[in-house]
Amino acid sequence: MAEPAPERPLPAWSLPAGTAESLALPTEWPGRVTREWAWGGSTGKGVRVCILDSGVERDHPDVGGLAGAVAVQVGEDDEIAVVDDVEGDLCGHGTACAGIVRSIAPDCELHSVRVLGAGFTGSGTALLGGLRWAVEQGFHVINMSLSTTKSQFAGLLHEVADTAYFRRTVLVASAHNMPVESYPWRFSSVISVGSHEEPDAQTFYYNPSPPVEFFARGVDVEIAWLGGSRARSTGNSFATPHMTGICALILGKHPELTPFQLKSALYLTASNVEGGQ
Amino acid sequence: MSEDGLRAAVAAGVLASEDAHRALLQATVEVARGIFYAKASSVLLYDEETDELVFEAVAGEGSDTLVGQRLPSSTGIGGWVLVTRQPIVLDDVSQDPRFAEDAAKRTGFVPKGLMCVPLIHDEEPLGVLYVLDRPQQTRFSLEEMELLGLFGNQAAIALDLLRKARRAQAVLEDADTDSALLARVAENLEGLDGPRRAAGIELLRSLEGLFKG
């Protein structure tokens, strides 16, 4: 093995001669990536998943407990405070997402970051602040069934999404169900999800015509809802946690994967691609 | 006063009253109820001053009690839809004890299922549209979801008209502003006919020339 090149003092984004071995990848990729290779035997153990939403009802039997729950508050001058969440779920949606992730990756570690409840006026600021905070915490996967139509937030969200991508936090975001411009699902650094109508939780498709990159189960899904109840629901916001759960399974088995590699593994194991069949 | 405000004020002097816009909104919820074969449908407008959602038009169940009632803007299903801009379809939601109690308190009617879509115009969600208890013998399809979204876009335009009419009306009612003066002139001119109208227009033309220098 060649001597590692001495560290250069200059922050040059280049690969000097003789240093290619420093980029040795920790994962051996098989000739054919299958679902068995990608997540066979995985339960999502060791993977920290964040549900950025309306809060989560932690004692709902389908949620199976939370490792942490915080709420994002917006003060005067748009100052952000992140405090322990004592209110739980203000809508039901976050609980539904948590239940879906748990049903796919039963041993993952679930965290709730509540960005709802600051009033509509503060909602964009809470969303951005909550996402920034979640990225700083280093969660492995952030489930984001939310978006904003305000173009003023687009640039800032883009920055946070790219930061997450480079820090190995995978952002899984719902595509809009309506023909409007919204963010962050349109960014290529996130995994964007729309719905298909099939009933299988692990059926997902790669879409070669972006911006939506994957379709997962999102129609007539049985979900956890408030007060320990259950409901059935439809929407891209329920397709998203299905992909989040599958990401947690893959990262549980291959924790070294970067978001780029994870997205490649998803592509290769999609139901319309050879490795997913 | 912005240019928009001035235009709105002048328009308010000559255009239809809030009643006509309200009728448009009412027709919108009636159609929403019709196309989805639903028991009820309603439109809620976001009130910036109080940071709440207000029932503006209701068709079917609750039509005699709900108009004017308010909901929080970032809790509950309507709040989630407003904040996230994502439509949602829920069935069997009546199992949720809090939802059932709240619905019963408001109207005496607990829907089994609902669809809720944000009404977005020029990036801004203006409010939400609810459709309650569509028949559940058929499975919901993504085509219906798209139809709901398209219909939501149309309803958003109706809601935007109502909002602008109200803003213009507020300008008119504030008698001390310059734009209110302009609006009153436009309103009075609209009410004139015959030689008095001709004389009024002649006078305005002279004023226009004077302003242009």
Report the complex ipTM: 0.83
Q: Are B111 and B75 in contact (CB under 8 A)?
A: no
Determine the pLDDT at residue A187.
94
At B49-108, the pLDDT tens digits run 898 999 999 999 888 888 999 988 888 889 889 988 888 888 888 888 878 777 777 777
Q: Which residues, in sequence order, are CB contacts of B68 under 8 Å at separation 6+?
A: B54, B55
Selecting from B72, B86, B125 the residue whose C-beta is nearest the C-beta of A235 gives B86
Crossing angle of helices B194-212 and B178-191, rounded to 10°: 150
Q: Which residues, in sequence order, are CB contacts of A163 under 8 Å at separation 6+?
A: A135
Instruction: Among B86, B123, B150, pick the best mutation site for testing chain A contact (most A Cβ within 10 A).
Output: B86
A174 touching B (Cβ < 8 Å): yes
Q: Are A253 and A45 in contact (CB under 8 A)?
A: no
Q: Are A65 and A271 in contact (CB under 8 A)?
A: no
Shortest distance, CA A122 to any CA of chain B (angstroms): 9
Q: Are the beta carbons of B97 and A116 separated by less than 8 Å?
A: no
Shortest distance, CA A187 to any CA of chain B (angstroms): 17
Q: Are the beta carbons of A237 and B84 separated by less than 8 Å?
A: yes
Determine the pLDDT at residue A14.
79
Q: Which residues, in sequence order, are CB contacts of A62 under 8 Å at separation 6+?
A: A95, A98, A99, A102, A103, A224, A230
Bridge partners (DSSP) of residue B2 are none
Determine the pLDDT at residue B44.
94
3-state secondary structure of B135: coil
Tokens of B208: 């226009």
Specify the pTM.
Answer: 0.86
Nearest to A46 by CA among A248, A257, A261: A248
User: Which residues in chain A are closer than 8 Å to B123, comparing Cβ atoms?
Assistant: 149-151, 181
Determine the pLDDT at residue B213.
77
Instruction: Show the low-confidence residues of chain B (pLDDT under 70).
Output: 1-17, 136-139, 172, 175
Q: Are the beta carbons of B125 and A219 separated by less than 8 Å?
A: no
List C-alpha distances in Å: A198 to A71, A195, B6: 34, 9, 53
Q: Are the beta carbons of B124 and A146 separated by less than 8 Å?
A: no
Selecting from B75, B84, B142 the residue whose C-beta is nearest the C-beta of A197 gives B142
Q: Are the beta carbons of A149 and B89 separated by less than 8 Å?
A: no
Instruction: List per-residue pLDDT tens for chain A, 277 residues long.
Output: 456 656 656 656 778 788 888 888 777 888 889 999 999 999 999 999 999 999 999 999 999 999 999 999 998 888 999 999 999 999 999 999 999 999 999 999 999 999 988 778 778 899 999 999 999 999 999 999 888 888 888 999 999 999 999 999 999 999 987 777 888 999 999 999 999 999 999 999 999 998 999 999 999 999 999 999 999 999 899 999 999 999 999 999 999 999 999 999 999 999 999 777 7
List C-alpha distances in Å: B45 to B14, B58, B67, B128: 25, 12, 11, 7
